[in-house]
Structure 1
Amino acid sequence: MYLDQIGDDTLRITQAVALLQEKIRSAGLRLKESTDFSLFEDTIRATEDRYLMEDFSGKFFDLHGTSAFWIGAWDKSGEPVSVQAAKIEDLRDRSLGQYWQQQQRRIFVDPSQDAELGDEHAHDAFFIRGRIVYHGNLWLRRQERGKGLAEALTQLGFLISLLKWSPDYLYGLMAARNAMKGFGIRVGYRRFAPRGTHWVKSPEHVRPDDWLVYSTRNDLITLARTIAAEGPE
């Protein structure tokens, strides 16, 4: 059913995925896609940052193959070079902003009285509804940055999400500095809203300056068409 929503672009999307995989593998990296989030947590613990987002932790969510996946990249020595994850929510009965009011409070505020969630989230979030993918926990080893791998890896995650779920929207939360420097547009986001979730007092490990960055299904299809026609950047 979801492939029908992509229409005649399935071959171009798969072509774009193949080109991205070729670029990543030409850098000497081995790729793996998985729905095993216990393995994801083990892989995170082997990285230099060891940062696992609550959104992809089994402590807070039941993550399984129908609604979540992750992609890892390893070097020839078997050391992790990159991780990223994505999951889909069916929000046809409420907006993304309303969902944040429930989810962020449950994850961050209820366990700790040191955080306070506001209600002035990104304006766009209150108009985003439907089948919505959250893409996050993106990490790339420090010495591999600035080589175009972040773009290729992120775009791969976007297009795998598109093939799996054909979502209405795919979104992330990005530090304001990175968004204003153009990182969001380079990796494939096409729409930007200053302020993501609104924090009166943010949790200690959560940036209070995140932007909501997102793409529609058609934006993602256009990204795939561009990669298929011109190759990865």
Structure 2
Amino acid sequence: MRTVALAEAIGRLSSRLSDWGYVVKEVDDVSTVPGLVDLLGKSYLTPLSSPGHNDFTENNVIWLVAMKGDTPVFAGCARLEDIGRESVSRYWSRTLKRAYGANSDAPVIEKVRPEVEKKLFGRLVYFGDLYVNSSERGSRVALRSFVALGHLAVSLKWDPDWIYCFVREEDLARGAGVIYGFSTLLPEPFNWLSPPPPRSNSEWLALLPRDEIWSFAGASLRAALRSAGPRRDRSDNQQRVIKDAPAECVGSHGE
């Protein structure tokens, strides 16, 4: 594990974000997360990231927020899921039923893809409820740097086998895979029997294995160091379509 290099890269990304006016902090008291999300302009928290649905401790969750002055502009959750050799289909069936099953014993998902079942085991980290304040929509280089810092923080704290999230297909079409730093994208990871809003069967599974975390974070750092800043890097065309830029990641998507 590249402990010193990871810590140095976190420092450089944090410094670059600071150059652009952002201060990245870890949320110490997760009970403050709902209020933070309200300030971001997000109308809900998904159950997998909500302190109200989970017994979060400093050992199993990281909530990061980027502030501009007194205003939160980016935020996201990473939660440790150390499933060992348990099948991910059984794990997801249990946790998603608890999150979305309305106290019913009926299953909420089915048909986990065999490729997913084969890949995902061991120490997992789930990214969820990544959200961008409307004032920062289109600040792609800053968002990419913030997410890369999150990947590095997760790697330094937990050294996971995989980081994963669920991303809406429309966000992938706008470049979310690169911005969020995931190297493997799989459609239809499983089937929701009755998708609970805002979830849908158009979500893709986005994956980043341990041996690619450093490469993807390094690419994000190099892009940040080359950049003149989030606003200056936008072309006229990007300025026109800023309202359509990726805004969130539910499970990591538009959650």
Give the alignment of 1:71-220 within 5 angstroms: 71-76=64-69, 78-111=70-103, 117-127=108-118, 128-147=120-139, 148-220=141-213
Look up the match of 2:245.
none
Instruction: Give the deviation of 1:40 after TM superposition.
Output: 1.4
Percent identity, please: 24
Look up the match of 2:45.
52
SS of 1:46 mapped into structure 2: helix
Q: Report if the CA contact (8 A) 1:86-1:135 is conserved.
A: yes
Q: What's the TM-score once normalised by structure 2's chain length?
A: 0.80
Q: Distance in 2 between matches of 1:153 and 1:191?
A: 20
Q: Distance in 2 between matches of 1:227 and 1:204?
A: 32
Instruction: Give the deviation of 1:231 after TM superposition.
Output: 4.9
Look up the match of 1:3.
none
Instruction: Give the deviation of 1:192 after TM superposition.
Output: 0.8
Across the aligned residues of Structure 1 and Structure 2, the Cα RMSD in angstroms comes to 2.1
SS of 1:82 mapped into structure 2: strand
Letter in 1 for 2:51: G
Q: Report if the CA contact (8 A) 2:65-2:74 is conserved.
A: yes
Identify which range, 124-133 or 14-23, moves more after superposition. Answer: 14-23
Q: Distance in 2 between matches of 1:10 and 1:158?
A: 13
The yes-or-no answer on 1:65 pairing with 2:47 is: no
Q: Report if the CA contact (8 A) 1:88-1:134 is conserved.
A: yes
Q: Distance in 2 between matches of 1:150 and 1:124?
A: 30
Q: Distance in 1 between matches of 2:204 and 2:177?
A: 10
Q: What does the per-residue CA deviation read over 1:29-75, in whole Å, with 9 as the maximum and x for residues that have no partner?
A: 22211242101122112221232121122332100001111111121
How many residues are aligned here? 223
The yes-or-no answer on 1:37 pairing with 2:30 is: yes
The alpha-carbon distance between structure 1 residues 190 and 122, as it changes in their structure 2 partners (threshold 3 A), is same
Q: What does the per-residue CA deviation read over 1:131-152, in whole Å, with 9 as the maximum and x for residues that have no partner?
A: 0000111011122122222211
Q: Report if the CA contact (8 A) 1:95-1:125 is conserved.
A: no
Q: Report if the CA contact (8 A) 1:13-1:224 is conserved.
A: no
Letter in 2 for 1:23: R
The alpha-carbon distance between structure 1 residues 83 and 125, as it changes in their structure 2 partners (threshold 3 A), is same
Q: Report if the CA contact (8 A) 2:66-2:72 is conserved.
A: yes
Instruction: Give the deviation of 1:193 after TM superposition.
Output: 0.6
Q: What does the per-residue CA deviation read over 1:180-200, in whole Å, with 9 as the maximum and x for residues that have no partner?
A: 333112321001110234212
Letter in 1 for 2:86: R
Letter in 2 for 1:33: E
Q: Distance in 2 between matches of 1:34 and 1:192?
A: 29
Residue 23 of structure 1: which of 8, 16, 26 is its match?
16
Q: Report if the CA contact (8 A) 1:98-1:126 is conserved.
A: no
Q: Distance in 2 between matches of 1:37 and 1:196?
A: 30
Instruction: Give the deviation of 1:112 after TM superposition.
Output: 6.6
Q: What's the TM-score once normalised by structure 1's chain length?
A: 0.87
Q: Report if the CA contact (8 A) 1:122-1:193 is conserved.
A: no
Letter in 1 for 2:52: K
Q: What does the per-residue CA deviation read over 1:175-226, in whole Å, with 9 as the maximum and x for residues that have no partner?
A: 0122233311232100111023421211133233111001111110222444
